[in-house]
Structure 1
């Protein structure tokens, strides 16, 4: 079962088919051996008076228990305290070893050898070794495990074999070349669960089994309300984490979430609603990051449910029919209109695409006529409740060129999720982050956005090149991949959204996002100096 998270933007949003923002798949960056610590950690600084860091989340951090692999990358902001990963993303967006001390690829980039850290133990008392890493990665075919989407059979970063060479050495074999395997195994995707949790995943519903610097304080934890973790001084990376206790408060109401950091109830509040930013900034400080693309994934690329969508010209017509500039100006001050799937700060971003596929209603009409639809087309979009204000705005824009967007009201959430297989398009925010090739591999081409298993040689070729290359060759492949997605109309972007976090500068220093991903590097949070 996929676990989706949603975001709001400049105004509170009712539910369209907001099926996207959570699935940060991973994939790509370096073949040389490397060394490193528990990513982004670093002691120093004086703690707050009671040594407690309080973080307010906009959603339940662990709604189905403490198996981190059931969740998307964003949940690493919580699970990083309880679990360690093979690799972790740093504030600058680079990926560094954590449970790994060295790694290397074979010349063909089809096998990766990992050397594991010594002296690591899990909550169940077992040591980290190659067998437990293999046991974790051997779960990759379980469809319930959100984090393993890109590693699963048939995906672009598919693992075909995991071999234990000796107690500290694991050899991973990939289905196709992976020049930068560390990005495949970073953060949530690379989390290693202890032997007890792997042997009996149901035990993780109530009891974490990690090697992280903290353990769950069950007496101070109320599920769906407050999660409290306390420092395990015996953990291998304990010295790299400053706080004695971290408390996570779940506050789902946007105004209450903002009030928590404004009043000092929380040191940090994550995923703030943009409508509350002015309030937070009037009393506290904020940080923000892009990387979330809001738009319409084209689901029916074969024309199975709507024959018009089998035409690339029709899909391109949707691109030219979308007036992104006016939509952002009217509804999303601070966001960036975009005609491409890759975020502005991600490798492969191409400013030329925003010019080439800018709003051009005349061109949209020409393309519809060339495709054999001079009278326009009908497009169904399933919504739960009232349609999203963005979708309503786009409905009006598309109508001007003869694209009739019809909202179909769902009577259940099951109908909403079924729409991923039946509607020609869905709509929502998608946290593409700083590794768009990984998102393409695990979601857009190899995941739920392509359940028809449509094939597009340009996309497939560029994706393979992006995953299998480094340096300038990888940069060119990413640029080619970005262009191919746009030119073939696999995604209709509208704008790049911004994720905000508020913080109390009197208690903590400025927190950092994991590159352009929309989650914070928890281990990097320091007390105010």
Structure 2
């Protein structure tokens, strides 16, 4: 076994997590039993890579693992955690960081042969008001990185004007968010449901693709950066059953398999190599912060009672060996992480009961949680722990994915894995404060002020703002952390060299995968 572990935090956005969870409903997919050819990279996914089609902006950041070979981005992640230009050859800010000028490459073409130009980039970014474009959530009106204007003064120059100062504009336009759709896809977005339109290193092979089972990508011989990709063909096999996924990497049917869990991970560790990355915090975002649907949640004391009622140590000991108990949203290696928060808001059932009485609920209160399929083990344990202080968690079985998504507007909490990555302020602005975790539009100046400060600053000033932001989220109980988990990928070290994660993010840089 050759297992390397990097304690860094992925930027898995929560929306991507919801899409993946919704897609993980069945058994194994994809066939084939022979070892991949030396010029082919075969990747096993635990969920459908493109469940709603090939528009990369309708997904969130983790989907870069699938879409990055098909679509170029303005900026991309690097293995060392940085963000570097890709379609952008140079960029600069004005003095007050409210305007960013991008210089585009002049040697990029799309599938139909049309060139990359500033008008196309503007057309892409002008989609930011479309509510179906999840990737642009941070850029939409009213959000922390709102774009108020995009200009194209010449074919290679794009000028972006921000509503608020953006000291690191590249952090708003990298990987999935920065992917540029070609002119045909922009003119007819419905066409992207069946066919991608990118300028990437690979093109989708219709003959080798079966939706929800296997996607085959063939190298684009006219690509501007051909040396950046090592394989002629990339095959993504969808294998949703964990045992089947482990068998596939152990038998050589796939070269890389993610994301592995439980017994499947152990089996792969015993036969192949595993690379792991931390930073995924499992917890409960509070979605009814105004008490609009559940009056108790309008009280900070009542919400705080939930925080103190969770016995994270026993949860980890019983169900998640190797994870780290935590009370906060920011993972251990993220800027702004504060170990004191885990102590201050740790398990204290007596304090939970005191807070319930202070909030006017001495006998506790009831709350609903809607789930699809079977309730997660974590949910069952939390249900028992909340009951010990008088809080009743009612589990509501959903009959459809639509019912689960609709419940985000009515249930007071949701459960899931969330990750803020190396840009926590962007996650908070685009997901926790301005995204689907706050559909009621709740406002909290104690959170908004350090969030804005972090977005507009760098260096030590940003670090302090992030520390203040993390504390404000905990003190106002907008998120109840439970434990920090890890993402695990198995790989065949005889076929490929150790893959690289996208900096502190929990998806792989497929462009950096090399033969062994």
Task: Give the equivalent residue in structure 1 for 2:19.
Answer: 5
- 1:107: Cα distance to partner? 1.2
Which runs of 5 or more residues in structure 1 are unaligned?
A: 16-47
Is 1:213 aligned with 2:201?
A: yes
Name the residue aligned to 2:395.
407
Quick check: 1:291–1:434 contact (8 Å CA) kept in 2? no
Q: How many residue pairs get matched?
A: 491
Partner of 1:247: 235
Counterpart in 2 of 1:380? 368
**1:102, CA displacement in angstroms?**
0.8
Using the TM superposition, give the Cα deviation of residue 244 of structure 1 relative to its aligned residue in structure 2, in angstroms: 1.0
Relative to the length of structure 2, the TM-score reads 0.92
**Displacement, 1:520?**
0.5
Of residues 334, 346, 356, the one that matches 2:344 is: 356
Partner of 1:365: 353
Provide structure 2 residue ranges, at least 5 long, that are not aligned to the other structure: 1-14, 27-35
Counterparts of residues 454-473 of structure 1 (less than 5 Å): 454-473=442-461
Tell me whether 1:482 sits opposite 2:470 in the alignment.
yes
Q: Report the Cα offset of residue 401 of structure 1.
A: 1.4
Is 1:105 paired with 2:93? yes
CA–CA separation in structure 2 for the residues paired with 1:49 and 1:429 = 35
- Corresponding residue for residue 49 of structure 2: 61
2:280 corresponds to? 292
Q: Structure 2 matches for 1:297-376, cutoff 5 A?
A: 297-376=285-364
Picking from 385, 395, 419, the partner of 1:431 is 419
Equivalent residue for 2:171? 183
1:257 and 2:245 aligned: yes
Tell me which residue corresponds to 1:397: 385
**Which stretch has the larger CA shift, 475-484 or 58-67?**
58-67
What is the DSSP-based 3-state SS (H/G/I as helix, E as strand, rest coil) of the residue aligned with 2:335?
coil
Between the aligned partners of 1:49 and 1:317, the Cα distance in structure 2 is: 56
Aligned to 2:212: 224
Matched, 1:194 2:182: yes
**What's 1:44 paired with?**
none
1:107-135 Cα deviation digits (max 9, x unpaired): 11111110111211111111111111001
- CA shift, 1:411, in A, is 3.4
Residue 221 and residue 14 in structure 1: after superposition, are their counterparts in 2 closer, same or farther (change >3 A)?
closer
SS of the counterpart of 1:218?
coil
How many Å separate the matches in 2 of 1:386 and 1:366? 33
Residues 496, 503 of structure 1: CA spacing in aligned structure 2 closer, same or farther, 3 A cutoff? same
Distance 2:384 2:25 in 1: 18
Once residues 259 and 46 of structure 2 are traced to their aligned partners in structure 1, the CA distance between those partners, rounded to angstroms, is 6
SS of structure 2 residue aligned to 1:480: helix
- Whole-angstrom CA distance in 1 between matches of 2:93 and 2:154: 17
User: What SS does the aligned partner of 1:85 have?
Assistant: coil
Aligned to 2:110: 122
2 CA distance for matches of 1:71 and 1:166? 30
In 2, distance between residues paired with 1:6 and 1:120?
A: 32
- Give distance in 2, aligned partners of 1:432 and 1:271: 18
Note the C-alpha offset of 1:52: 0.9
Cα distance in 1 for residues equivalent to 2:241 and 2:64: 22
- CA distance, structure 2, for counterparts of residue 14 and residue 495 of structure 1: 24
**Contact 2:20 2:48 (C-alpha < 8 Å) held by counterparts:** no
2: distance between equivalents of 1:130 and 1:14? 41
User: What is the rounded CA distance, in whole Å, between the counterparts of 2:247 and 2:221 in structure 1?
Assistant: 33
> What SS does the corresponding residue of 1:423 show, helix, strand or coil?
coil
How far does residue 143 in structure 1 lie from its aligned partner after superposition? 0.9
**Take 2:21 and 2:314, find their aligned partners in 1: how far apart are those partners?**
21
SS of corresponding position for 1:60? coil
Distance 1:460 1:492, change over 3 A: same
Q: Within 5 Å, which residues of 2 pair with 1:262-277?
A: 262-277=250-265
Secondary structure at the residue paired with 1:140? helix
Separation of aligned partners in 2, 1:127 and 1:413? 39
Aligned partners of 1:290 and 1:433 also within 8 Å: no
SS of residue matched to 1:115: strand
Shift of the 354–7 alpha-carbon distance from structure 1 to 2, 3 Å rule, reads: farther
Determine if the alignment matches structure 1 residue 517 to structure 2 residue 505: yes
State how far apart, in whole Å, the 1-side matches of 2:19 and 2:112 are.
30
What is the CA distance between 1:6 and its match in structure 2? 4.0
Give 1:160 deviation, angstroms.
0.8
Kindly indicate whether the alpha-carbon contact (under 8 Å) linking 1:109 and 1:177 is maintained by their aligned counterparts in 2. Answer: yes
Please give the root-mean-square deviation of Cα atoms over the aligned residues, in Å.
Answer: 1.7
Separation in 2 of the partners of 1:301 and 1:283?
A: 47
Contact 1:212 1:237 in 2 (8 A): no
Counterpart CA distance in 2 for 1:386 and 1:473 is: 45
